[in-house]
Amino acid sequence: MAASGKPRERQRGNITALPSGALRVRVYAGQDPVTKRPFYLQETVPPGPRQAQEAEKLKTRFLNQVDEGRNPKTRANVGQLIAKYFEIVDVDVLTLRGYRSKYKNHIKPLLDTTPLAKLGQIGTGVEILDSFYAELRRCRLHCDGKEFIDHRTAGAHQCDEHEGNRCPRNNPQGCRRCRRMCKPHVCKGLGDSTIRQIHWILSGALDRAVVWGWIAVNPAEHASKPGLPTPDPHPPTVDEVGRLLTEAWKEDEDWGAFLSTKTTTGNRRGEMCALRWSDRTRREDGATSVLNVRRSIFVNDAGQLEEKDTKTHQHRRIVMDPEPDAVLDEHESRCRQRAAELGLPFDPDGYIFSSAPDGSRPLHPDSVSKRYARMAKRLGIETELKNHRHYNATELIMAGYNVRSAAGRLGHSGGGTTTLRVYTAWWSEADQRAAGATPVRLPARPTARESDASKPAVPDVMDEDLKLYERIAADLRGAIDAGILGHGDPLPPEKMLASRYGVSPSTAHRAVALLVAGGLVAASRGKRATVLANDKAPIATVTELRLEGS
């Protein structure tokens, strides 16, 4: 006889006894979006006095998670999620290459097979990520603590090349074999910046998993991500830039033009290699030109040079000053003459800096960096090519550029946020100079007679001033010789020079007067001193000035 009353509801979950004596709790949770198969939440309860009650509690908890949408939706693991995330993420091609490298070296060895169902649990998932970041800080090779040798290459090689030609060991400064020798592994963690980038890869992928319904919550939002690294740029000094530019001009005029233009514009390496003659246009007044920076050169996965958008996807227009503009004029004349001598047409859309006579092929970014590194090493200067961009930024800040103008010229995103974060120390120093003397009251310094007689006497102020103003004049002369200050450019105000060197305005005035006497600078009452044509005239010494004054 048919059953009477309400129809029997379908059982949503079940508890099954296993041969081992454990109870398996299983609750249907929908269709797996990855495999398209039915997906179940399941867990086993070991034997015990309260086994039945614990199984019922577990079943109720699973049912509540399904009803509230807090349950994991798939059996996919972290590796499957990252693979799908890389297919849809919209980032620059070089950024994606960096993502793939960090996944291969760090995420895949440690988290690749971790189920998303486990990572999606707010408590367990956060604990997994915290332990993962701790491992990245411990050792970048994720070693197991056992001793082993760090080999310099995976191919066939000789770990110790000293055989037959011995030298004192541990002499990396004087022996090339010591530098190349494979050494015992020493654990060294990743930097905060790299760990933070790995965190954002995981956070972005897990955020998409939440949107796709693969997991209910993103555990990366609650994990202890590393803080922002403290920016510490190391731009070269004015003297070092002058020496580098002088050496570049001696090596090759094209190389000198490249480095000079990069220093004065602050362009990135790839942006410099991608500049074409058609990107250089004349201003309406015809005085100088404007560089349109809209592309960058990079090496694709096949090892070929390819053009792409700029790093921040910005189109910049850089107004050239007279001296840097003249450098490009001379460079264009050399390129036209070189093409004519070889019987080649000059391409008005060719690359400005090219390894081909007709400008059809751009410079290789890696070759540019290696050539600069060799030159800097030869001069004994510890710096990199990218530091010329830092140098340009600090000079803009010291010259009083507002943050938005400096950020626009350098191509920083965020309306100046990056500029302020990276160069805040120089910006703060520029603000202090503009404000004048710091209003901090201090007791008067004891005089030589009040101090201990055994202490050396205070040096003569006049002698110290003479040394200081000669040094200021020498620094300015170095900037003029290096082309940083060109013909017609104004010198920094004497008040600014006095603040920069910590001297009195009269000392700064004497430094400018020394340059005027040497025929390098012209000065008149009421106007800023300006640079004359650099004819390499020697700066007059203090003795010569005294003779002229007498």
**Cα angle 348, 350, 354; round to 5:** 140
Is residue 6 over pLDDT 80? no
pLDDT score for 178? 78
DSSP 103: I
Indicate if 59 and 203 belong to the same structural domain.
Answer: no
Indicate if 281 and 395 belong to the same structural domain.
Answer: yes
Q: Look at residue 445 and tell me if it is in a domain.
A: no
Indicate if 216 and 243 belong to the same structural domain.
Answer: no
**pLDDT tens digits, 313-326:** 888 888 888 888 88
The last residue of one of the domains, among 68, 87, 111, is 68
Is residue 3 over pLDDT 60? no
Indicate if 309 and 198 belong to the same structural domain.
Answer: no
CB atoms within 10 A of CB 101: 10
pLDDT score for 202? 94
Q: Look at residue 434 and tell me if it is in a domain.
A: no
Indicate if 33 and 59 belong to the same structural domain.
Answer: yes
Indicate if 39 and 136 belong to the same structural domain.
Answer: no
| pLDDT confidence bin for 257, thresholds 50/70/90 | very high
Indicate if 484 and 539 belong to the same structural domain.
Answer: yes
Closest of 354, 120, 19, 523 to residue 510, by C-alpha: 523
Q: How far apart are CA 475 and CA 466, in angstroms?
A: 14
Closest of 88, 94, 190 to residue 138, by C-alpha: 190
Q: Token pair 């203090």 is at which residue?
A: 542
Indicate if 215 and 85 belong to the same structural domain.
Answer: yes
Q: How far apart are CA 118 and CA 233, in angstroms?
A: 41
Closest of 158, 72, 183 to residue 121, by C-alpha: 72
Indicate if 93 and 54 belong to the same structural domain.
Answer: no
Name which of 293-302, 411-420, 520-529 the model is least confident about. 411-420
The last residue of one of the domains, among 403, 426, 449, is 403
Check: CB of residue 206 under 8 Å from CB of residue 74: no
pLDDT score for 390? 81
Mean pLDDT over 260-277 rounds to: 92
Indicate if 492 and 377 belong to the same structural domain.
Answer: no
Q: Which residues of 453-491 are buried (b: 16+ CB within 10 A; e: fewer)?
A: eeeeeeeeeeeebeebbbebbebbbbbbbbbbbbeebeb
CATH number at residue 512: 1.10.10.10
pLDDT score for 421? 65
Mean pLDDT over 336-345 rounds to: 90
- 348 class by beta-carbon count within 10 Å (0-12 exposed, 13-18 middle, 19+ buried): exposed
Higher pLDDT, 314 or 430: 314
Higher pLDDT, 38 or 429: 38
Higher pLDDT, 459 or 20: 20
Q: How far apart are CA 470 and CA 488, in angstroms?
A: 22
Is residue 474 over pLDDT 50? yes
3-state secondary structure of 14: strand
Q: Count the domains in the chain.
A: 4
**What global pTM score does this model have?**
0.60
Q: Look at residue 201 and tell me if it is in a domain.
A: yes
3-state helix, strand, coil in the chain (%, to 5): 45, 10, 40
| pLDDT confidence bin for 116, thresholds 50/70/90 | confident
pLDDT score for 467? 58
Owning domain of residue 397: 238-403
Indicate if 215 and 117 belong to the same structural domain.
Answer: yes
The residues, ordered by sequence, that sit 6+ positions from 528 with a Cβ below 8 Å of its Cβ are 490, 491, 493
Q: Look at residue 453 and tell me if it is in a domain.
A: no
Query: Checking DSSP bridges between strand 38-45 and strand 23-31, what pairing results, if any?
Result: antiparallel
pLDDT score for 83? 92
3-state secondary structure of 169: coil
Q: Token pair 């650099």 is at which residue?
A: 534
Q: How far apart are CA 534 and CA 124, in angstroms?
A: 70
Indicate if 293 and 385 belong to the same structural domain.
Answer: yes
Name which of 242-256, 285-299, 465-479, 524-538 the model is least confident about. 524-538
Beta-ladder partners of 149: 184
3-state secondary structure of 318: strand
Q: Look at residue 304 and tell me if it is in a domain.
A: yes
Is residue 391 over pLDDT 90? no
Mean pLDDT over 335-358 rounds to: 91
Is residue 269 over pLDDT 60? yes
**pLDDT tens digits, 33-77:** 777 778 777 888 899 888 989 998 988 888 887 777 766 667 788
| Three-class secondary structure assignment of 319-356 | ECCHHHHHHHHHHHHHHHHHHHHCCCCCCCCCECCECC
Mean pLDDT over 215-222 rounds to: 86
Mean pLDDT over 2-9 rounds to: 48
Q: Look at residue 95 and tell me if it is in a domain.
A: yes
The last residue of one of the domains, among 403, 429, 446, is 403
Tell me the DSSP string of 120-147. TSHHHHHHHHHHHHHHHHH-TT---S--
Higher pLDDT, 138 or 499: 138
Whole-number CA gyration radius for the chain: 34
Mean pLDDT over 301-315 rounds to: 85
CATH number at residue 106: 1.10.150
CA 392 to chain centre: 15
**pLDDT tens digits, 33-43:** 777 778 777 88
Is residue 544 over pLDDT 60? no
pLDDT score for 462? 37
CB atoms within 10 A of CB 320: 21
Q: Look at residue 157 and tell me if it is in a domain.
A: no
Q: Look at residue 230 and tell me if it is in a domain.
A: no
pLDDT score for 333? 92
Is residue 4 over pLDDT 60? no
Q: How far apart are CA 78 and CA 491, in angstroms?
A: 60
